[in-house]
Structure 1
Amino acid sequence: MSQSNKKLTALTFDDGPDVTLTALVLDKLDKFQVPATFMVVGQRVNDSTSDIIKRIVNSGHEIGNHSWDYSSMGDMSAEEIKESVGKTTAVIEKYSGTSPKFFRAPNLVYSQTLYDNVDLIFAHGITANDWIQTTTAQQRADAIINQVKDGAIILLHDVQPLPHPTPEALDIIIPTLQEQGYEFVTLTELFIRKGVDLNTAKGKVYSFVG
């Protein structure tokens, strides 16, 4: 199967960074040698998490913007939106040395004002209810595997209250999808390899690309 014909999917993780919890996800990504994209909350990006942010970048992963404090933004004014997203982008640039290309709205709540005032690509995704603490690793894995198709953005969480078996679910998700012919890529690579121009991809929400 040529690279251009290979099925692609992008793992994304919300709500970090956290020194302990994000590291558990990074350990699994290291184990399988696959890249991912971490959609970070700005107020968590600081001196105390700088080492884990460096690890994310040095491991070949991407960092996206998940707002400043995870407040739903559906009713926010343009000024509030710009402040939240702008402050988050600034700390991402400060601590990671990279600029985010993608934005995920807190609680997946959108508005026209949000579209009009965020100059990033809106990445949604297929979910696994991994914010519900009673779901098991197998249930989380099954939810993703049953929904995935070529070009899918997978939406999981690196940070949720314990017990949080999403890292364990990756032990099922990654090899199962690889056996089905999927290659894991960052969000940027997913868009590029699916032929979607990053400069013209704004103004809509993507769960699948291509």
Structure 2
Amino acid sequence: MPSRTKKMKKTGAGLRAVTMSVAAASLALALTGCTRLETTAPSAARAQPTAQARFGTVDCSEAKCIALTFDAGPSENSARLLDILKEKQVPATFFLLGKNHIEKYPELVKRMADEGHEVASHTWDHKILTRIEPEEIREELERPNKEIERLTGHRPTLMRPPQGRTNDTVHEICRELGMSEVLWSVTAKDYTTNDSALIRKRVLAQSSRDGIILLHDIYPGTVPAVPGIIDGLKKRGYVFVTVPQLLAPGTAEPGKVYRP
């Protein structure tokens, strides 16, 4: 029979584990800026097909799909990134910033759309949406939408809130504007390092089917990591798709949050 001391040690360890889990959950909720964040997985979106035709020729209910996404561009690194994606025949989803990005590199926004990538919004000025008033939220979302539509002829339907911070007010405004929010399941934290090998290693270690990879083409270590990420995941049987392709034959619904 186990001693009382051993039982107490086990109980203490269990309590510490529960406490750590609760703390982690509380931190995740704090980051969203709301008390509860309801998200929809790509597989759930696919289970609700719409009348709209499936994007492209990939059926992600059968294929091992993964979506490569880039935040906060365009930048001086984006042309090289587009060259790599074209060479590798990989589509991506770009969540673009307005100030100092869309307005500075309009030709790259056009190129992204022309080469078959999904062009979406990361707000105008990267303000944390949960900290500003509703009218400011609308402006942060509407300004890049108007510029992207002017440049590409297509109004974005997807957005990614800065730092992933969102709440019920953001959801409601997105619903009014016909936009869906897209979070992620894989992050290399490329804002903390310029080590391309480390960025590649982190992405490969975290990737799984229906994953959404978050990278930033504004950092110098990121774009050089992309060829290795693509080659490594292709060797594992992954098929790269845009976020809309990942959800098809379902479509993203305005006001909803999508995350694997």
TM-score bin (small chain):
0.7 to 0.9
The answer on whether the counterparts of 2:71 and 2:94 sit within 8 Å (CA) in structure 1 is yes
- 1:197 is displaced (CA, Å) by 3.4
Aligned to 1:130: 190
Mapping of residues 178-197 of structure 1, within 5 Å: 178-192=234-248, 195-197=249-251
Aligned counterparts of 2:92 and 2:189: Cα–Cα separation in 1: 19
- 1:202 is displaced (CA, Å) by 3.5
**2:118 is aligned with 1:62:** yes
- 1:196 is displaced (CA, Å) by 3.5
Aligned counterparts of 2:173 and 2:109: Cα–Cα separation in 1: 26
Q: Which has the higher helix share?
A: 2
Aligned counterparts of 2:114 and 2:143: Cα–Cα separation in 1: 23
The answer on whether the counterparts of 1:75 and 1:111 sit within 8 Å (CA) in structure 2 is no
The answer on whether the counterparts of 1:11 and 1:153 sit within 8 Å (CA) in structure 2 is yes
Superposed CA offset, 1:179-210 (max 9, x none)? 11111011111111xx43323x6333x332xx
Question: Residue 181 of structure 2 aligns to a residue in which SS?
Answer: strand
Q: Which amino acid aligns with 1:41?
A: L
Aligned to 1:73: 129
**2:229 is aligned with 1:173:** yes
The answer on whether the counterparts of 1:45 and 1:95 sit within 8 Å (CA) in structure 2 is no
Aligned counterparts of 1:129 and 1:24: Cα–Cα separation in 2: 21
**2:110 is aligned with 1:50:** no
Ranges in structure 1 where 5+ consecutive residues have no aligned partner:
none
Q: Which of structures 1 and 2 has the bigger CA Rg?
A: 2
Question: Residue 70 of structure 1 aligns to a residue in which SS?
Answer: coil
Q: What CA RMSD, in Å, does the superposition of the two structures yield over aligned residues?
A: 1.7
**2:138 is aligned with 1:86:** no
Aligned counterparts of 1:186 and 1:150: Cα–Cα separation in 2: 14
Q: Which consecutive aligned stretches of 4+ in structure 1 deviate over 2 angstroms post-superposition?
A: 195-199, 201-204
Count of residues in correspondence between the two structures: 197
Q: Which amino acid aligns with 2:115?
A: S
> Which of 55, 63, 67 pairs up with 1:10?
67
Aligned to 1:148: 207
TM-score (norm. length: structure 1): 0.88
Ranges in structure 2 where 5+ consecutive residues have no aligned partner:
1-57
- 1:110 is displaced (CA, Å) by 1.5
Aligned to 1:23: 79
Aligned to 1:207: 259
Identity %, equivalent residues: 31
TM-score (norm. length: structure 2): 0.71
